[in-house]
Amino acid sequence: AQSVTQPDIHITVSEGASLELRCNYSYGATPYLFWYVQSPGQGLQLLLKYFSGDTLVQGIKGFEAEFKRSQSSFNLRKPSVHWSDAAEYFCAVVNPYSSASKIIFGSGTRLSIRP
Amino acid sequence: GAGVSQSPSNKVTEKGKDVELRCDPISGHTALYWYRQSLGQGLEFLIYFQGNSAPDKSGLPSDRFSAERTGGSVSTLTIQRTQQEDSAVYLCASSLYSTGYVNEQFFGPGTRLTVL
């Protein structure tokens, strides 16, 4: 069965510092990979996605993620965080062979920003 | 344009009561999903509708949970005889549908259900 692991429950970084959120997946083949952000009181918003091709993908709000097949990882990065980036971040996968496209989410990483 | 809307935004109910949660997808989106976000279980898939096809109910946690989608648009998630463990945020998402391609799912703001 597919699964997604986000090993960090909570991370605090200083404003302006770089950020990396970890994500590992377990799946027989390469799934479709996503990062979502959920700000307080807001719905989930898609930051970026990887289907195939270039393993470094760019997303909205200055985020990027790198797919590493050998490590089954899809870590999210941002070179300089802003206070508005404080939110919950979810890594997610979709089975590319399923017609349902249901999303399997990781448990989330809560990001706090230190002024 | 309007996004996915859900109502009510908050629902408090007593254990044993039935509740109905509503989702209005983005116009033109034929795929509709329900997810549940709870402290103990994280975000989990509940049910999926696509057009007139039979829904994928594989994520429903018990037979107290059911959902329908009328006219291929609005969906209602019903929880019968609610239990305290049903307390969670229920999220709805919709997307375009095309065979062999995964389209972005757009999420609503959710309904926070509290069972006392």
State the average pLDDT over residues B71-75: 88
What sign for the dihedral angle of Cα A29, B31, B52, B79? Answer: positive
Cβ-Cβ contacts under 8 Å, A90 against chain B: 43
Residues in chain B: 116
Kindly tell me if the per-residue pLDDT of B99 is higher than 70: no
pLDDT for position A81: 97
The residue ranking higher by pLDDT, A52 or B22, is: B22
Q: What are phi and psi of B18, to 5 degrees?
A: -95, 145
Report residues of chain A scoring pLDDT below 50.
none
Through-space distance between the first and last CA atoms of chain A, rounded to whole angstroms: 41
State the average pLDDT over residues B26-44: 89
pLDDT for position A110: 95
pLDDT for position B98: 66
Domains (range + CATH), chain B: 5-95 (2.60.40.10)
pLDDT for position B33: 94
What does the alpha-carbon distance between residue B78 and residue B55 come to, in Å, rounded to a whole number? 15
52-111 in A: which are within 8 Å (CB) of B? 90, 94, 96, 99-108
Whether A44 sits inside 8 A of B107 (CB atoms) is: yes
The architecture in CATH of the region A3-114 reads Sandwich (2.60)
b/e for A29-52, b at 16 or more Cβ within 10 A?
ebbbbbbbbbeeeebbebbbbbee
